[in-house]
Amino acid sequence: MAMELQESNQQRLHHFIAQSKWNVRQVMDVVTLQFWKLIESLGLTEDSCLIIDEAGNPKKGRHSAGVKRQYCGQVGKIENCQVGVFGALCAGSLVNLVQASLFGTATNGSKIEQAKSIIRHVMKELKLPVRWICFDAFYGRDAALLADLIKNDIEFVADVQDNLQIWLEAFQMRIPVQQPGARGRKSKLAKPNRPSVSIKAYAASLLPTQWKFITVRHQSGGKKLQAWFHSRDIYILNPLTNRKQLVTLLIREDKDGTIKYSFCHSPGCSLQELAYRQCKRYFIEKAFREGKKELGLNEYQTRSEESWLKHMAMIMLAQLFLNQEKIVHYEKEKLWLTTQDVLQTIKSSLHFVKRTIEDLLDYILSKQPPDKRLVRNSLYLRM
């Protein structure tokens, strides 16, 4: 900002992020609650979810909080970087980063513990009745996390890896009976009395008639997200009770042959609803992409954890402003605006770009959906 703004004071801006006395957690909570009010005003609370994911930013040196050699999604490999665990609220296609925690510090614990903390804070402490949680396979592989969510009656859609073992029938934990003449010590640990199968092997055994082709939701450019889906109730081992745990296995195969697997806890949901919920995790990637490309989420020069959190809080506040502008234009003018539309309008008004307001408005009007009622009535709000 100091390099872009005319007559700015770099020292003062750095002081605001690094040393000034303001409560970063309170700012994040205000952003969370204000964005929830937007969701309520649009009648989209039934479509609300909390998405958990992480984002890494490459970082040189060893003195910044949480920095070390670890996997960085931005570059797709092990790199010297900082990684944060984020929570984002989403309804329709509106999404806002609302909570964050820096991984790798002495006080924050593992990524799983940080994810639990974000979920607990949003749902229990802020008391927001989000309908479900979704996260990727890194978190979905943790059976203890899934069991804890089920115990607290929290619905979720968790991506999982295809090598996990599942049971197609209910099993009981029994100490295996040693066969006569068998060598070795007798087993003292209870094990499932029915055989398990890997998710990949089960998916390979499915017949074409066991799949259903579903149109999930709208996409940009008038396209629709469509894929083949299959679901069935299966059992996994609950590490908290050492007993069987009933969940729903959801398998999705895209037109290009890509297959995705998820464990779901959503009692009473149809296959159509499960398919829709599984595809919502895309929107936190959208929030990260827009945050890095448009708002400078990965552009900061700080070392302390507090400074990192303050920078992320400012990104969340900026996203909230952009979402509020989208809603204002939708409510007053029935215009569907993207993040880029809002930013280009601001830049054009401030003469940061040569594009005139008239030319920009013509462009925005030219890409409005032909029948807005179809999009609005589907509950999915495209912005």
Residues 291 and 312: their CA atoms lie apart, in Å, by 10
In the predicted model, is pLDDT for residue 383 greater than 90?
Answer: no
Cβ pair 380, 93 in contact under 8 A: yes
Tell me the Ramachandran region of residue 160: left when phi exceeds 0, alpha when psi lies from -120 to 50, beta otherwise.
beta
Give pairs for 200-209: CB < 8 Å, separation 24+: 200/162, 200/163, 202/166, 202/168, 202/249, 203/162, 203/230, 203/251, 203/259, 203/261, 206/230, 206/251
Q: Which of 5, 57, 30, 126 is nearest to 297 (CA)?
A: 57
Q: How many residues does the chain have?
A: 383
- Dump pLDDT digits (tens) for 144-197: 999 999 999 999 999 999 999 999 999 999 988 877 777 777 778 889 999 999
Residue 180 has a pLDDT of 77
pLDDT tens across 224-277, in order? Answer: 899 999 999 999 999 999 999 999 999 999 999 999 999 999 999 999 999 999
Q: How confident is the model at residue 375 (pLDDT cuts 50, 70, 90)?
A: very low
Amino acid letter, residue 29: D
pLDDT > 90? residue 129: yes
**C-alpha torsion angle, residues 68, 71, 74, 76 (rounded to 10):** 140
185-197: pLDDT as tens digits: 777 888 999 999 9
Query: Amino acid identity of 2?
Result: A
> What CATH number matches the domain at 19-176+189-377, 3.40.50.2000, 3.40.50.970, 1.20.1250.20, 3.90.350.10?
3.90.350.10
Q: What is the pLDDT of residue 171?
A: 94
Structure confidence at residue 13 as a pLDDT band (50, 70, 90) = confident
pTM of this structure: 0.90
Q: Beta partners for 32?
A: none
Q: How many CA atoms lie within 13 A of 195 on its CB side?
A: 3
Domain-wise residue ranges, the chain: 19-176+189-377
Residues near 214 by beta carbon (within 8 Å), at least 6 away in sequence: 226, 227, 228, 229, 271, 272, 275
Q: Please tell me the predicted confidence (pLDDT) of residue 382.
A: 55
Percent of the chain with pLDDT over 90: 61
> DSSP state, 167?
B
C-alpha 347/C-alpha 342 separation (Å) is: 9
